[in-house]
Amino acid sequence: MKHKPVISSQPRLWVYLLLLAGGLLVSLLHITTSTPAVQADPWARRALIVQQACSGVQPTPNFSEYYGTVSLDGEPAPAGTLVEAYSPRDDKVGCVQVSVPGYYPYMRVYGEEGTTPGMRFNEKVTFKVGGHLATTDPSPVIWINDWDQHEVNLSATSAPCYDFDNSGQVDLPDVTLVANCWRMTTEDSDCAPYDLDGDGIITVVDIMLVVVHLGETCP
Ligand SMILES: [Ca+2]
Ligand SMILES: [Ca+2]
């Protein structure tokens, strides 16, 4: 009678250990089989990258959809390029990946809902191509919760060079050129090239964009 509890608890311990070892084996097998599969298949790897890059988007029942052409440095954006949309509060509100070079598929851009951040009615959507601020056609793109598709063509440059006077370097004369257009809109064709963030007006933001690149040389 004395030993009975000891004897009966012994097999139970083995069962636990076996279950634990089995669980470890299963998870090990899972890791060894799934990881090389992702590494070997470029599409699976790409999907994983997109999943990670697009992770900040929070879908809500409110949306508008955009699609169109997309160029990077004047060339069709290659397959795999990320296209992202941002709200004025810098919330990532949409994200897709280029699959056919030069085009991006339907991208839902979500609206705010309760505590979930998103676009608000009549706000401007900011687009990024491969992480670079894009200019849009039409411009600006105003968000409404219409559940409809809109063609918006995007173009971006990966390495902006703000050497406007072609001196070979971003220097003070370039800052002055932008500053002279302060408060002018892009309707003024002389000032249009200096709307660097593409919001339609030359503001201190555009001036600062040049200032932060001071001293850079351009090819
Ligand atoms: Ca210059
Ligand atoms: Ca601007």
- pLDDT number for residue 45: 54
Please give the structure tokens belonging to residue 182: 């302060």
The Cβ-side half-sphere exposure at 213, using a 13 Å CA radius, reads 22
For domain 56-156, give the CATH number. Answer: 2.60.40.10
95-127 residues labelled b (16+ CB within 10 A) or e (exposed): bbbbeeebbbeebbbbbbeeeebbbeeebbbbb
How far away, in angstroms, is 197 Cα from ligand 1 center?
Answer: 19
The Cβ-side half-sphere exposure at 94, using a 13 Å CA radius, reads 26
- pLDDT number for residue 111: 98
- Burial class, 203, CB count within 10 angstroms (exposed 0-12 / middle 13-18 / buried 19+): middle
Alpha-carbon distance of 41 to 141, in angstroms, equals 36
Which CATH code, of 3.90.1150.10, 3.30.930.10, 3.40.50.1970, 2.60.40.4130, is assigned to 160-219? Answer: 2.60.40.4130
56-156 matches 160-219 in fold: yes
Report mean pLDDT in 10-residue bins for the chain, 219 residues. 51 60 53 47 55 83 98 93 95 96 97 97 95 92 97 88 90 96 94 92 95 81
How far away, in angstroms, is 207 Cα from ligand 1 center?
Answer: 14
How far away, in angstroms, is 72 Cα from ligand 1 center?
Answer: 23
How far away, in angstroms, is 173 Cα from ligand 1 center?
Answer: 6
Residue owning tokens 């593409």 = 198
How far away, in angstroms, is 61 Cα from ligand 1 center?
Answer: 48
Alpha-carbon distance of 94 to 98, in angstroms, equals 13
Please give the structure tokens belonging to residue 46: 């790409």
How far away, in angstroms, is 88 Cα from ligand 2 center?
Answer: 14
How far away, in angstroms, is 164 Cα from ligand 1 center?
Answer: 6
What distances in angstroms separate CA 48 from CA 3, 55, 95, 209, one per listed residue? 56, 10, 14, 33
Q: Structural domain boundaries of the chain?
A: 4-40, 56-156, 160-219
- pLDDT number for residue 20: 62
- pLDDT number for residue 12: 65
Instruction: Pick the ligand that lies closest to the CA of residue 182.
Output: 2
- pLDDT number for residue 16: 59
Phi, psi of 100 (to 5 degrees): -100, 120
